[in-house]
Chain A
Amino acid sequence: MSLASVSTVAVSLFILGMFTMLVLNLNKLAENLESQVQINVYIKEDVNREDIKDLEGIIKDMQGVENVTYVDRETAMETFKKRLGDQTSILEALEDTNPLPESLVVELKEPAMVQTAAETLQKYDIVEEAKYGQDVIEHLFDITRLLRIFGFGLMLLLAGATLFIISNTIRLTVFARRKEIAIMKYVGATDWFIRWPFLLEGMVMGLCGGIIADIFLQLGYAEVESKIYNTLAFFPLIPADPFMTYISIGVIITGMFIGAMGSTISLKRFLEV
């Protein structure tokens, strides 16, 4: 067991852990966005305030609706201005007119119902348009699905690479001790008696690599957490506690498991006597 092989294992496990964390966080983001699915129901111009109130009541009683909020033209403008930020040229072009319609923001309990709900709402006379971020959400789902598959593939690949490194390192030890192993077989040592020191070596390698990887993962996540908190506060990063504890345990156990598997593989041929 050399420093070189332990650090290679550590690097593999680090990337493995990093990808797990990335995939889990993206899942969380997707879930969050999914749960935030809402329909903007834009009202036609010059509609009676009373009619809007009536529609609000109808929507509230609809199945699967969590909440309905009325947004008047001024509030809509405020939100719009906030979103524009520095790009004041658009506002200047508007010259103090407010082209934004009144709207009802409908939040749903089940994101799956968004399409039918929007279609139903579209049918009301006073409704200009019932819109939801269909494209955006479907895109995001496509991306996370892709990332999940890609991440899973990469994780398998890295696990394979770790297995390869560990089994190769153990193979060297086994090879150096092949005479001893052959004698042990001849005098009647059991396979388990011969196997366990190598198994231990593989598992210790996985453990050491796992611990080193884990230290860097912890530091890295703390760093990312503070960065994101300062710049992209809306991004719902999974809180480090207890998430990172699970990741630590996962990385270390994965390392030890792969280590045990690696040594079993490299010993197999030498036990066939």
Chain B
Amino acid sequence: MIHMKNLKKIYDDTGTIALENINLDVKKGEFVFLVGPSGAGKSTFIKLLLREVVPDEGVLTVNGRDVIRMSKKDVPYLRRGLGVIFQDYRLLPDKTVYENVAFAMQVIEAPRRLIQRNVNNVLEIVGLRDKYKCFPNQLSGGEQQRVAIARAIVNNPTILIADEPTGNLDPETSWEIMDIFLKINAAGTTILMATHDKEIVNVMKKRVIAIEDGHIVRDEMRGRYGYEN
């Protein structure tokens, strides 16, 4: 699914070495937490997978695609295989729940009949079937994040990538989100989640990759959060 070898990323404008000497493999169906202090390089890691930033050195393949040597016009096809979720939901305020989710299929020109079926399906998965007509500002934070999840999985990605998806949510709501993640993971989707949520990581006992100062310092199956907050 994901293969990284001696991967290095330097931000040219500031000269910051955001990631260095990164080696790892993530297999299909895994559930991986990415932890580490603020500024460690977790978001950069995620941006590399999406090819939002391009690595300076090393090897990176995602879903069998060579992300480094990929041409610009292939980037959209890489991203169609990846679902992304952010801390701040990033929903379109003037579109309903249904439209926000359908949007992700419309812009890759999916057939209309498929759109209707898939959107209803994923709204069922995230438990928002009856709120499909609501606008984002009529929803709670947790519900908005569920819409974002529905949008991220509506195109059946092989990997779901989440950058601090529970960062703005209270513990109870965070667990609702993790419930949905477990369901999606059980259906075979690989999940990679950057988080600062100690409780979630410790309770779930999944693979934990810890990054500090741009280096992987720990990579354990059934790992723990390992930091004091």
Specify which of A179, A183, A188 is in contact with B76 (CB 8 Å cutoff). Answer: A188
Question: Which residues from B are CB-within-8-Å of A187?
Answer: 79-80, 84, 103-104, 107-108, 151, 155
The chain B residue sitting closest to A184, CB to CB, is B107
What's the Cα separation between A183 and B72 when bound, in Å? Answer: 17
In the complex, B13 has a CB within 8 A of chain A = no
In the complex, A234 has a CB within 8 A of chain B = no
- A179-B90, A182-B90 given; A188·B80 CB < 8 A: yes
Specify which of B50, B52, B80, B103 is in contact with A183 (CB 8 Å cutoff). Answer: B103
Expressed in whole angstroms, the minimum distance between the Cβ of B100 and any Cβ of chain A is 9
What's the Cα separation between A65 and B12 when bound, in Å? Answer: 73
Expressed in whole angstroms, the minimum distance between the Cβ of B82 and any Cβ of chain A is 8
In the complex, A273 has a CB within 8 A of chain B = yes
Interface residues of A in 166-192 (CB under 8 A from B): 179-180, 182-191
Interface size class of B (residues with CB under 8 A): 10 to 19
What's the Cα separation between A163 and B92 when bound, in Å? Answer: 30
What's the Cα separation between A190 and B72 when bound, in Å? Answer: 10
Expressed in whole angstroms, the minimum distance between the Cβ of A196 and any Cβ of chain B is 12
- A179-B92, A180-B92 given; A273·B52 CB < 8 A: yes
What's the Cα separation between A189 and B79 when bound, in Å? Answer: 9
The answer to whether A190 and B76 have CB atoms under 8 Å apart is yes
Interface residues of A in 185-215 (CB under 8 A from B): 185-191, 193-194
What's the Cα separation between A189 and B80 when bound, in Å? Answer: 8
The answer to whether B90 and A188 have CB atoms under 8 Å apart is no
The answer to whether A189 and B92 have CB atoms under 8 Å apart is no
Question: Which residues from B are CB-within-8-Å of A273?
Answer: 52
The chain A residue sitting closest to B82, CB to CB, is A188
- A187-B155, A188-B155 given; A193·B90 CB < 8 A: no
Q: Mark B65-90, 1 if CB is under 8 A from A, else 0.
A: 00000001100111110001000001
What's the Cα separation between A99 and B126 when bound, in Å? Answer: 109
What's the Cα separation between A168 and B103 when bound, in Å? Answer: 27
Specify which of A180, A187, A190, A191 lies most central, judged by the most chain B CB atoms within 10 Å of its CB: A187
Question: Which residues from B are CB-within-8-Å of A186?
Answer: 50, 79, 84
- A182-B90, A183-B92 given; A189·B52 CB < 8 A: no
The chain B residue sitting closest to A193, CB to CB, is B107
The answer to whether B90 and A189 have CB atoms under 8 Å apart is no
Q: Mark B215-226, 1 if CB is under 8 A from A, else 0.
A: 000000000000
The chain A residue sitting closest to B152, CB to CB, is A187
What's the Cα separation between A191 and B107 when bound, in Å? Answer: 11
What's the Cα separation between A183 and B154 when bound, in Å? Answer: 14
Question: Which residues from A are CB-within-8-Å of B80?
Answer: 187-188
The answer to whether B108 and A188 have CB atoms under 8 Å apart is yes
Interface residues of B in 82-129 (CB under 8 A from A): 84, 90, 92, 103-104, 107-109
What's the Cα separation between A179 and B78 when bound, in Å? Answer: 20
Interface residues of B in 175-213 (CB under 8 A from A): none
Expressed in whole angstroms, the minimum distance between the Cβ of A268 and any Cβ of chain B is 12
The answer to whether B108 and A183 have CB atoms under 8 Å apart is no
Specify which of B73, B76, B84 is in contact with A189 (CB 8 Å cutoff). Answer: B76
What's the Cα separation between A76 and B209 when bound, in Å? Answer: 106
Q: Which A residues form the contact surface with B (CB < 8 A)?
A: 179-180, 182-191, 193-194, 273
Could you give 13 example pairs across A and B, Cβ below 8 Å?
A: A179-B90, A179-B92, A183-B90, A183-B92, A186-B79, A187-B80, A187-B103, A188-B76, A188-B77, A188-B80, A188-B155, A189-B76, A189-B108
Given A186-B84, A187-B107, A188-B79, 7 more pairs with CB closer than 8 A: A179-B90, A183-B103, A183-B104, A187-B84, A188-B78, A190-B73, A191-B73
